[in-house]
């Protein structure tokens, strides 16, 4: 596609349920990032993929959060047993970054707004 | 770790010039980004500085001083559509961009 695509755009769920958020990066972009943005807060880094591997998972807030990337393309962020504090906009970005070297411009998707009731 | 500081909110008048400052502390430095984010939309890239000095791109310019841990984004000839949040992001040794909380700019007539 022309840009980074994320789905769903909006998700309302009940506390305790699991959710999956999907990111389809720009074709050919090897690097993929997940961030989350809470109201009035900056972008909080969650996880970074280079190809299918995740060299940096340091931002995942708890073991309820996991992510995978397959075929060097689509990524899924899974949140298990959601809590109200998980409510945020989850943003995915991709770039042409090589395994070593400068980050390059990040291209962001529109985000998935998660509301946990 | 990294620490990035920028003002929470600024207001300016249409047609004027505004400067949004960003100070940072980082272990290792590999570049500084500015992004623009309109409410409810994705952040979009504005500029990237890795060397000291001023980078100009149309109405927007970005300045970097690595020794001072300081950058600014300069917006000239402000337009109403420039009302948005401006995010400063720094890449350190890991090359993972760390974002500040953003500066909400309000442009009024």
Q: A34 in contact with B at a CB cutoff of 8 Å?
A: no
Q: Measured between alpha carbons, how far is B73 from B61 in angstroms, rounded to an integer?
A: 6
Q: Measured between alpha carbons, how far is A35 from A95 in angstroms, rounded to an integer?
A: 14
**Residue A99: band (very low, low, confident or very high) from pLDDT cuts 50, 70, 90:** low
Chain B residues whose beta carbon lies within 8 Å of the beta carbon of residue A111: 42
Query: Could you read off the pLDDT of B39-71 as tens digits, one per residue?
Result: 989 999 999 999 999 999 999 999 999 999 999
A93: helix, strand or coil: strand
- Specify whether the CB–CB gap between B79 and B68 falls below 8 A: no
Average pLDDT over residues A84-97: 93
Name the pairing type of β-strands B97-99 and B60-65.
unpaired
Q: Across the interface, which of B42, B95, B101 has its CB nearest the CB of A110?
A: B42
pLDDT of residue A45: 94
**CA of B22 to nearest chain A CA: how many angstroms apart?**
13
Q: Could you tell me which of B23, B20, B19, B21 has the C-alpha nearest to residue B2?
A: B23
Query: Could you read off the pLDDT of A8-44 as tens digits, one per residue?
Result: 999 999 999 999 999 999 998 989 999 999 987 889 9
| pLDDT more than 70, % of chain A | 94
A75: helix, strand or coil: strand
Q: Is the pLDDT of residue A1 over 60?
A: no
pLDDT of residue A101: 61
Average pLDDT over residues A104-108: 88
Higher pLDDT, B100 or A52: B100
Query: Could you read off the pLDDT of B67-95 as tens digits, one per residue?
Result: 999 999 999 999 999 999 999 999 988 77
Tokens for B1, please give them. Answer: 């770790």
Average pLDDT over residues B4-20: 97
Query: Could you read off the pLDDT of A58-76 as tens digits, one per residue?
Result: 899 999 999 999 888 999 9
Q: Is the pLDDT of residue A95 over 80?
A: yes
Instruction: Report how many Cβ contacts below 8 Å link chain A to chain B.
Output: 55
Chain A residues whose beta carbon lies within 8 Å of the beta carbon of residue B96: 33, 45, 48, 56, 103
Mutate to test the interface with B, among A105, A107, A112, A113 (most CBs of B within 10 A): A105
Q: Is the pLDDT of residue A100 over 80?
A: no
């Amino acid at each position: 596609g022309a840009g980074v695509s994320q789905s769903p755009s909006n998700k309302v769920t009940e506390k305790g349920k699991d959710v999956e958020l999907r990111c389809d990066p720009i074709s050919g972009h090897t690097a993929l990032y997940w961030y989350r943005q809470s109201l009035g807060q900056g972008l909080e880094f969650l996880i970074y993929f280079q190809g299918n591997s995740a060299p940096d998972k340091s931002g995942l807030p708890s073991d309820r959060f996991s992510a995978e990337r397959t075929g060097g393309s689509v990524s899924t962020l899974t949140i298990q047993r959601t809590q109200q504090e998980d409510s945020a906009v989850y943003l995915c970005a991709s770039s042409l970054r090589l395994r070593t070297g400068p980050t390059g411009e990040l291209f962001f998707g529109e985000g998935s707004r998660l509301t946990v009731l | 770790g990294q620490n990035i500081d920028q003002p929470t909110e600024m207001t300016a008048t249409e047609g004027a010039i505004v400067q949004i400052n960003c100070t940072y502390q980082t272990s290792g430095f590999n570049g500084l980004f500015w992004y623009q984010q309109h409410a409810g939309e994705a952040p979009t890239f504005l500029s990237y500085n890795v060397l000291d000095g001023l980078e100009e791109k149309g109405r927007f310019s970005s300045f970097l001083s690595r020794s001072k841990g300081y950058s600014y984004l300069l917006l000239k000839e402000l337009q109403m559509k420039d009302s948005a949040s401006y995010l400063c992001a720094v890449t350190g040794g890991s090359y993972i961009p760390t974002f500040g909380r953003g500066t909400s700019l309000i442009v009024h007539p």
